[in-house]
Amino acid sequence: MTKYFITGTDTDAGKTVVSAGLLVLAARQGQRSLGLKPVAAGCQHTDDGLRNDDALALMAASSEKIPYELVNPIALEPPIAPHIALMQQNRRVSVDQLAGYVRGAMMTPADFVLIEGAGGWRVPLNRNQKMSDLPRCLALPVIVVVGVKLGCISHALLTAEAITADGLQIAGWVGSIVDADTRNTDEILMTLNALLEAPCLGVVPHLQDPGPELVANYLSLPPSLEQC
């Protein structure tokens, strides 16, 4: 089992779009793929309970099928920062709890597993812990999704510095063109390639319908997996 944590340089950087594409790509290459979203805010009420669009997208893109509650054990209705939503409900979720949920889900036989974070690297989970503590607890290499727009170079470098400072390996990064009107995208990507000390796993253009089958065409798997 090869496992990665996926983070973004910001909210709406394109984490889920890239994650779903990577899951489909892994399945194309004969890998059993599984995507997890331990914490998700902005869930909708359904007949089956709270459901999150990102978590459902990961489930649809995964070759291995498990119950929703294992994919997204912490489902929060308000579309706000998870720690604020938890505070409003007088709930506290710890990194140890999340790690336990993830380990339980990973008992499902799979070759390629993605654990998608919420927001950026330093999103708080509670007063003392952050989402970045989860991949640290699980010792996961990290894939960074860079939302390519004005200011993203600084965001990407700061995210990479924080991941490295936390003692984790950056397995690769993906450029995600989130704004079709962004200028100088070629120059931005060239700068990121020069300054980020990790392989580029692809660049996803601004797509009207970013379905995982299409997105997968723009991606490659991390080198460590391809060499296994």
User: pLDDT per residue over 12-26, tens digit each?
Assistant: 899 999 999 999 999
pLDDT, position 224 = 65
Does the pTM of the predicted model rise above 0.85?
yes
Task: Write out 101-130 in H/E/C secondary structure.
Answer: HHHHHCCCCCCEEEEEEEEECCCECCCCCE
In terms of Cα–Cα distance, which of 5, 21, 25 is closest to 226? Answer: 25
Domain count, the chain: 1
DSSP label of 219: B
Catalytic residue among 37, 65, 130, 149: 37
What DSSP character marks residue 10?
S
Residue 220 maps to which CATH number?
3.40.50.300
- The answer to whether residues 143 and 151 touch, using CB atoms and an 8 Å cutoff, is no
Q: Give the tens place of pLDDT for each residue, 167-211.
A: 999 999 999 998 888 899 999 999 999 999 999 999 999 998 999
Q: Catalytic residue at 37?
A: yes
Taking only the tens place, the pLDDT of each residue in 45-101 is: 999 999 999 999 999 999 999 999 999 999 999 999 999 999 999 999 999 999 999
> Which residues span the domain enclosing 202?
2-226
Residue 137 near residue 167, CB atoms below 8 Å = no
Question: Which residue from 78, 23, 14 is spatially nearest to 52, judged by alpha carbons?
Answer: 78
Identify the DSSP state of 69.
Answer: H
Position 115 pLDDT exceeds 80: yes
**What's residue 148's pLDDT?**
96
